[in-house]
Amino acid sequence: MRLTSISTVVTGAGAGIGAAIARRYGSEGALVTVADIDREAAQTVCDEIIAAGGQALAVTMDVTDRDAVRTGLAQARDRFGRVEVMVNNAGISVSSGVFDTTEEQWMRHQRVNGFGVLIGMQEAAKMMIADGISGRIVNVTSISGIRNNADWVAYAASKASTSSLIHGGARALAGDGITVTGIAPGIVETPLWRGIHGTEQEHRERFARYAAEIPLGRISVAEDLTGAAVFLASPDAAYMTGQIITVDGGITA
């Protein structure tokens, strides 16, 4: 129980990595606001946390809609009294190369993975400052934000925005006692990959090839990211800001 009574908001928590972080936070004693654009998915994860003995609230939140982010944060504060940890995890991903990346793909990735994270940081920080909370902001970026990739041009550029906001946000908010850190996953088996590699069999074959290239020999699962997420929300990370923890099985080693 490393997060007892810490009030947390996790975006994109209806599936994949966000859902795993929300469940783990719940099992560590945190008060968890499960935020997602997909209300039903958020409610399902919220119900699972409560069924496991935790405390949770589901809110509908499109991270690109400032009013929705403000409303979701206000609901979290109404329910749990404060917001101490904001995990900006919601993100989208579509494969696109240098020549076939469209303007629509480029703008959509920047809007969700860049601007959505900026809004989450701004609105959470404003609330923390108003409430006198020395809070934590944790942004989920990607190893693609460090090194672009021929097949993921728009996505990787948007994740470079996410990573850049971790560095800028850390410097901007340090004076208010708010830390900004990040987690950079490698390849994680989540619904994000649905349909990207064609049929289920093609997907399995592609993932087997990826796994063979990963030093630790396997694709990660969402739960592999939750240890870093707990650490960054815990008192143990109080003196860390502007840093990104890479959890990629050694891909970038």
Ligand X SMILES: NC(=O)c1ccc[n+]([C@@H]2O[C@H](COP(=O)([O-])OP(=O)(O)OC[C@H]3O[C@@H](n4cnc5c(N)ncnc54)[C@H](O)[C@@H]3O)[C@@H](O)[C@H]2O)c1
Please, is 26 exposed, middle or buried when counting C-beta atoms within 10 Å of its C-beta (0-12, 13-18, 19+)? buried
Among 61, 119, 156, 237, binds ligand X (CB under 6 A): 61
130 or 212, CB closer to ligand X? 212
Contacts of 75 (CB under 8 A, 6+ apart): 33, 57, 59
Q: Which residue from 22, 23, 26, 19 is spatially nearest to 4, judged by alpha carbons?
A: 26
CA distance 134 to 179: 8
Q: Please count the residues of this chain forming the interface with ligand X, following the rule CB under 6 A.
A: 30
CA distance 160 to 237: 23
Decide if residue 107 touches ligand X (CB under 6 A).
Answer: no
36 HSE (CA, 13 A, CB side): 23
129 or 214, CB closer to ligand X? 214
Query: Which residue in the list 25, 155, 210, 239 is annotated as catalytic?
Result: 155
CB of 206 to ligand X, least distance (A): 12
Decide if residue 105 touches ligand X (CB under 6 A).
Answer: no
CB of 143 to ligand X, least distance (A): 7
- Contact flags string 168-187 toward ligand X, x per CB under 6 A: -----------------x-x
Helix axes 16-27, 226-233, angle to 10 degrees: 50
140 or 233, CB closer to ligand X? 140
Query: Can 25 be counted among the known catalytic residues?
Result: no
3-class SS at 4? coil
162 or 241, CB closer to ligand X? 162
Question: Which of the residues are catalytic?
Answer: 155
Residues that bind ligand X (CB under 6 A): 11-12, 14-18, 36-38, 41, 61-64, 89-93, 112, 116, 140, 142, 185, 187-188, 190-192
